[in-house]
Amino acid sequence: MEELEEALIAADVGARVATELVESLAAAGGAPLDALKQGIKARLAGAERRLALRTDGSPTVIFVAGVNGSGKATTVAKIAARLRAETPEIPITFAAADTFRAAAIEQLGVWAERIGADIIKHRIGADPAAVVFDAIDHAVKTGGVLLIDTAGRLHTKHNLMEELKKIERTVQKKLGRPSDERLLVLDATTGQNGISQARLFHDAIDLSGIVLTKLDGTAKGGVVLAIWEELKLPILYIGVGEQPEDLHEFSAEQFVEALFSG
């Protein structure tokens, strides 16, 4: 039992959840590992959710947030590539609202060309909400999907959160409704720090879900169990590499098996 608890903590599920799971095992009896897997799957009930596109002619707006280095721009591109593969004719627009890094705008431009998406961008240092304003105008004309890439300078935490709130207010003002998705891209290697990140972004923009990236290394990503339990934020995708095909829809079954592999 002690080994199982240590394995859970190493997988980043958190000490409290690990202890609760192991205590429930002791009460249940039976094969410990199988019972543990079933216990985690039961806790993740409802955590799987799929991206839903609008069918009313209005653009589906997907607001993507996260700290720098989490893989936001790559995730924007991967979601777009999945949508393009599923519905080749769907119009896709990128809003390059991380206006603080030239590299971020350039990277998004490369992805846009590769996928066949339109990109709305302004100069470095421009107001991110102004980029989103123009991108919404474009997406309303074309329909389809608008994916918003944002900054993630956590060292200016207050300013960043205010900026994200302003972007969401711009969406609501332009479309008369919130963004359809407000996704937090979370680097699996951040471990338990992911919970405080999720709280921070959730308080600012009322997140609708999580994308867990960088699961191609030693990180197991057990933090999503703690995030699901505390914030009830579903997991839409997991990223296991740099290529578009390396973004997978989240499966609790596969996730739990992977927690105990290797």
Looking at the structure, tell me whether residues 38 and 69 fall in a common domain: no
Say whether both 221 and 95 belong to one domain: yes
Q: How far is CA 157 from CA 45, 114, 132, 162, 204, in A?
A: 33, 33, 21, 9, 11
Half-sphere exposure of 131 (CA within 13 A, CB side): 29
Q: Is the dihedral of CA 3, 9, 13, 18 positive or negative?
A: positive
User: In residues, how long is the chain?
Assistant: 262
220: pLDDT strictly greater than 90: no
Dihedral sign for Cα atoms in the order 232, 238, 239, 240 = positive
Q: Are residues 149 and 223 in the same domain?
A: yes
- Tell me, what's the pLDDT at 30? 64
pLDDT of res. 105: 95
The confidence band for 233, taking pLDDT boundaries of 50, 70 and 90, is very high
111 and 142 together in one domain: yes
- pLDDT per position as a tens digit, 3-25: 888 888 888 888 888 888 888 87
pLDDT value at 153 more than 90: no
Residue 112, pLDDT above cutoff 90: yes
Asked if the structure places residue 50 within a domain, the reply is no
CA distances (Å), origin 250, targets 17, 107, 208, 213, 262: 20, 26, 15, 11, 20
In the chain, which residue ranges form alpha helices assigned H by DSSP?
Answer: 2-10, 15-28, 32-43, 72-86, 102-115, 128-142, 157-175, 193-205, 223-231, 252-259
Distance of CA 59 to the CA centre of its chain: 20
Do 183 and 246 lie in a common domain?
Answer: yes
Kindly state whether residue 222 falls inside one of the protein's structural domains: yes
Tell whether 126 and 252 lie within a shared domain. Answer: yes
Q: Among 185, 180, 175, which Cα is nearest to 98's?
A: 185
Q: Using CA atoms, how far apart are residues 184 and 172, in angstroms rounded to an integer? A: 19
Domain identity same for 151 and 232: yes
Q: Are residues 123 and 212 in the same domain?
A: yes
Q: Of 80, 107, 79, 72, which Cα lies nearest the Cα of 186?
A: 72
Do 120 and 180 belong together in one domain?
yes
For residue 139, is it within any domain? yes
Q: Which token pair is 96?
A: 């390059």
Encoded tokens for 27: 């009460």
Range of the domain at 27: 2-43
- Same structural domain, 188 and 103: yes
Report residue 131's pLDDT band, with 50, 70 and 90 as the boundaries.
Answer: very high
**Cβ proximity of 209 and 49 under 8 Å:** yes
Structural domain contains residue 226? yes
* CATH number for the domain that contains residue 183: 3.40.50.300
pLDDT reading at 237 higher than 90: yes
Answer yes or no: is pLDDT of 262 > 80.
no
Q: Let me know if residue 54 belongs to a domain.
A: no
Please say if the pLDDT value at position 134 is more than 90. Answer: yes
**Region class of 29: left (phi > 0), else alpha (psi between -120 and 50), else beta:** left
Indicate if 66 and 38 belong to the same structural domain: no
- 123 and 174 in a single domain? The answer is yes
Q: Say how many domains are in the chain.
A: 2
